[in-house]
Amino acid sequence: MTSDKTPTASRKAGIAVAKPIRVNLGSFLSRFFLRYGLILTLILVSLFFSIRTQAFASIDNLLDILRAVSILTIVALGVTFSVVVSGFDVSVGAVTGLAVILSTALMVIWGVPWYFAILICLAVGAIIGLLNSFLIIRLRIPDLLATLGVLYLVQGLQMSITKGDAVYKGMTNPWSPTREIAGGAIHPNFLFLGQGFVLSSEAFRGIPVPVVIMAVIALIAFIFLEFSRFGRIFYAVGGNIEAARLAGVDVNKVRMTAYVISSVLATIGGLVLAARIGSGAVKAGDPYLLDAVAATYFGFAVLNARRANVFGTVLGAIFVGVMLNGLTMMNIPWYIQDVIKGLVLIVSLGLSYYTTRR
Amino acid sequence: MAVLKASGLGKVFPGVVALDGVDLELRGGYVHALIGANGAGKSTLIKILTGYYPSYEGRIELNGQLISIHKPSDAFRYGIEVVHQEVDTTLIPYLSIAENLLIEKLATPAEGFFVRKRELHRQARQILQTLQLDMDVDQPVADLSLPQKQLLVIARAISRNASFLILDEPTASLGVSDVERLFTMIRKLKQRGVSFLYVSHRLTEIQEIADDITILRGGKKVAYFNRETFEMSKAIEAMLGAQPGKLFPTRMPITERELVLEVRNLGWGKRLKNISFQAFRGEVLGITGLTGAGKTELLNILAGCEKADHGDIILDGKVVHFRQPKDAIRHGIFLIPEDRRHRGLWIEHSIRTNVTLPFIRDFSYLSFVLSFKEISHVLQIINRLKLVPPNPEMTVKNLSGGNQQKVVIGKWLLQKGRVVLFDEATQGIDIGAKQEVYVLARELAHTSAVIFSSSDVDEVLGLADHVLVMRDGQIVGEFDTQPIDRQQVMELATGAVRTTTAYTTAQEE
């Protein structure tokens, strides 16, 4: 026995888990890959696509990718907030869809000014967030079930607005007994939110507005969760709700805020989506639910954070965007896309959880 | 009688020797106690004996024959079983007692597709009868109390013919009467030739139940006693590796005391009845009683976690009402809760984020957390509490129990509270850390009223200036003058006049 070599210091230190003292190349590498592996993969995948396809490595294509994932990122950031407080919000896809139909219907069918339409949608989004938190906090319905119920409710509401019709310029008014043509139109200022560019010049197409909106929201969310005391409190509630309560946190207020943020961000995502497609498609928000949840959980693996975080969620959304964009350019058929998404999620989370299991 | 003899057991982790050449003998019909501070190697030893590690040093013999234990099924085959402190993890709550007892049988394909309930119940009843346990075999395990679950797990191990039973801190969350029931069971099984390895921090219990005592420190066997040679002071010395200082800090003169908190006629359903007392700055008010006597409920009400049905809480002469803990904290009432893992800590977070959370506003400017402010404060706290390792970024999960408890206390040291409530603050921590908690409680009494609640009568008597005894939600005794008669406190707490303790009964046997 090597009793004389016993490093009593570390034991005196009361460390329950053994800590290697010698720097081991293998463990160093594995730790490096755990932390930076996904970022590294993202860079490698981008390089691969750049070499294989000519169009990939250009500023315009980069911005196209970002625009393609901007709505998803916004919705996913909302989900991230609910996951941070250890909740879950599956109503986001339906809320996104509601914002699409409601905003366009207000403008096209009822001729509401575009800014009022936006405000009404945001208010409705906040109310849905309050409804979610009421069900979860006051009635104590488990979050998954409560938001699932709200998902159906909102989806039904969404279709009731137009009696199931899509909204487009020149549609017949579903509420008019004589089925006359709806007189309103989607204002160009509204469309700018989804289709516009800023900082355009002759040499440069400009930065798409959805990308700007995404960046602003992501930055605010990042600062809020990582550097403000509110972020500390949000993570404390998610980490141990009882300890947070005993430490003087109004945990119900925190959870309510998280659900309201989630619904409002889903609404913003819906508004951008409506502006992007320029009409109100029915159930347009549905696919965003699963993608947003995937991006959020993908974020767990980034930098080996193993908790929901803004940086990870954004990177998760971009990763999916890069894969889909690059594969499309390489003429991989669209029906393979979901397979790719699934693999990316499984491999990244699998690596993160498997390697850290003791 | 079966004899399990382990010699030269050792286990090395990268950079740390967790266990170093330890010999241990378990004889049928005897209780072998294993004690040591946190991190002394007790759990490593248990894990080796139960086949948790595929490789380790040393040899294990059963009745003189070399055996190899390298996976859990090996240990099971040789009749070695462990009853963990958290018994819930090995029971399935919505199955009945009978189903839990015979779960292996239910899982074997030979039993066929349908559950033969009558046969199952008959067998379960038989097992319980031989151990003289009175339980309804059809009752779901979820309805059992913790001590009942523990007895059930022991019964299950015995029914599988376990001959070496490892009890890992079995009494950590048991009240006095439950401890006695457990000891009765152990004595009964001893007569049947079962051998016990009894791991605990509580020396008084060990004195009562153990035949052999092995003490570990720093992964090595540092002392061995038998029933005759065992001495409490020597055992403490061996555990700590130094002459133990006084376990309890000196009391202060009571001339400086100031009335801070008064509770009048507090009542909460059937759990608390007619509670009235006063707490002073400058003294430690001890509350003791069995588990379930209402101590935790009382402290929870004072800290705003629960609302009383009637009665007044008067703080500094004013009646206060708390809707949630936040309000109590604003009034300067801080709670160090029972069950620190679930109610006091963020185990995945660092020491820094744990310690600064309650007063995070004081570390922020324009709502931005200033980490330099945090770190300098946390370093101070680490220094004051002698936290090891002294690293603010250390994840709390990786700290020992004693150090975790210090983190919970450290949260409240930024501001001077009016009342600091300690609820079972020394549960599951080693004696060195206990001593430090007592000193802290005493220090805090200079600036706040300290209420120290514990079901460990000895520590309350040793620490407090004034002692309340609770039973069934009521205060049944109040002691002001020192020294307090331990016997009298125990009688009040248990609600029965006893002339002999369990220890003397055992000697008579």
Which residues on B lie below 8 Å from A1 (Cβ)? Answer: 8, 10, 17, 20-21, 57
Inter-chain residue contact B360 with A228, CB threshold 8 Å: no
* A358 in contact with chain B, both atoms CB, cutoff 8 A: no
CB atoms within 10 A of CB B118: 8
* A11 in contact with chain B, both atoms CB, cutoff 8 A: yes
What is the rounded average pLDDT for all residues in chain B? Answer: 86
| Exposure letters A68-84 (e unless 16+ CB within 10 A, then b) | bbbbbbbbbbbbbbbbb
Does the pLDDT at position B22 exceed 70?
yes
Print the SS3 string covering B111-156: HCCCCCHHHHHHHHHHHHHHCCCCCCCCCEHHHCCHHHHHHHHHHH
Which residues on B lie below 8 Å from A249 (Cβ)? Answer: 326, 357
Confidence of residue A222 (pLDDT cuts 50, 70, 90): very high
Q: What is the mean pLDDT of residues A176-188?
A: 87
Q: Which residue of B has its CA nearest to A245?
A: B325
> Under CATH, which architecture does the A55-356 domain have?
Orthogonal Bundle (1.10)
What is the rounded distance in angstroms from the CA atom of residue A137 to the CA atom of residue A135? 6
Q: What are chain B's domains?
A: 3-240 (3.40.50.300), 254-344+417-505 (3.40.50.300), 346-410 (no CATH)
- Give the pLDDT of residue B15: 62
Does the pLDDT at position A37 exceed 80?
no
Does the pLDDT at position B112 exceed 80?
no
Does the pLDDT at position B467 exceed 90?
yes
Inter-chain residue contact A22 with B353, CB threshold 8 Å: no
Q: Which amino acid is at B419?
A: V
Higher-confidence residue: A308 or B116? A308
* A356 in contact with chain B, both atoms CB, cutoff 8 A: no
CB atoms within 10 A of CB B148: 18
* B330 in contact with chain A, both atoms CB, cutoff 8 A: yes
Strands B272-281 and B284-288: unpaired
How long a stretch of residues is chain B?
Answer: 509
Q: What is the pLDDT of residues B138-186, one digit of tens each?
A: 899 888 888 888 889 888 888 888 899 999 888 877 777 788 888 988 9
User: How far away is chain B from the Cα of A357, in angstroms, using its nearest Cα?
Assistant: 14
Higher-confidence residue: A13 or A45? A45
Q: What is the pLDDT of residues A108-122, one digit of tens each?
A: 999 999 999 999 999
Strands B258-268 and B419-423: unpaired
Q: What pTM was computed for the model?
A: 0.79
Q: Does the complex come out with an ipTM higher than 0.85? A: no
Inter-chain residue contact A229 with B364, CB threshold 8 Å: yes
List B residues 122-151 in contact with A (Cβ-Cβ < 8 A): none
Q: What is the pLDDT of residues B401-424, one digit of tens each?
A: 889 999 999 999 999 999 999 999
* A25 in contact with chain B, both atoms CB, cutoff 8 A: no
Inter-chain residue contact A16 with B368, CB threshold 8 Å: no
What is the rounded distance in angstroms from the CA atom of residue A312 to the CA atom of residue A295? 8
Residue B33 gets which letter from DSSP?
E
Dihedral class, residue B58 (left if φ above 0, else alpha if ψ from -120 to 50, else beta) = left
Does the pLDDT at position A12 exceed 60?
no
First to last CA, chain B: 21
What is the rounded average pLDDT for all residues in chain A? Answer: 87
Q: What is the pLDDT of residues B227-286, one digit of tens each?
A: 889 888 788 778 776 555 577 888 777 667 899 999 999 999 888 999 999 999 989 999
Q: What is the CA radius of gyration of chain B?
A: 24
First to last CA, chain A: 25
Q: What is the mean pLDDT of residues B360-385?
A: 93
Closest CA to B345 of B398, B384, B296, B293: B398
- Give the pLDDT of residue A20: 44
- Give the pLDDT of residue B507: 40
- Give the pLDDT of residue A21: 47
Contact of B209 with B31, CB cutoff 8 Å: yes
- Give the pLDDT of residue A3: 41
Residue A167 gets which letter from DSSP?
B
Contact of A282 with A149, CB cutoff 8 Å: no
Q: What is the mean pLDDT of residues B71-92?
A: 86
Does the pLDDT at position A58 exceed 90?
no
**Quick one: B178 exposed, middle or buried, by C-beta within 10 A (0-12, 13-18, 19+)?**
buried
How long a stretch of residues is chain A?
Answer: 358
Q: What is the pLDDT of residues B294-332, one digit of tens each?
A: 999 999 999 999 999 999 999 999 999 999 999 999 999
Write out the H or E segment, with its range, that includes residue B222. Answer: strand B220-226
- Give the pLDDT of residue B311: 93
How many A/B residue pairs have CB atoms within 8 Å? 134
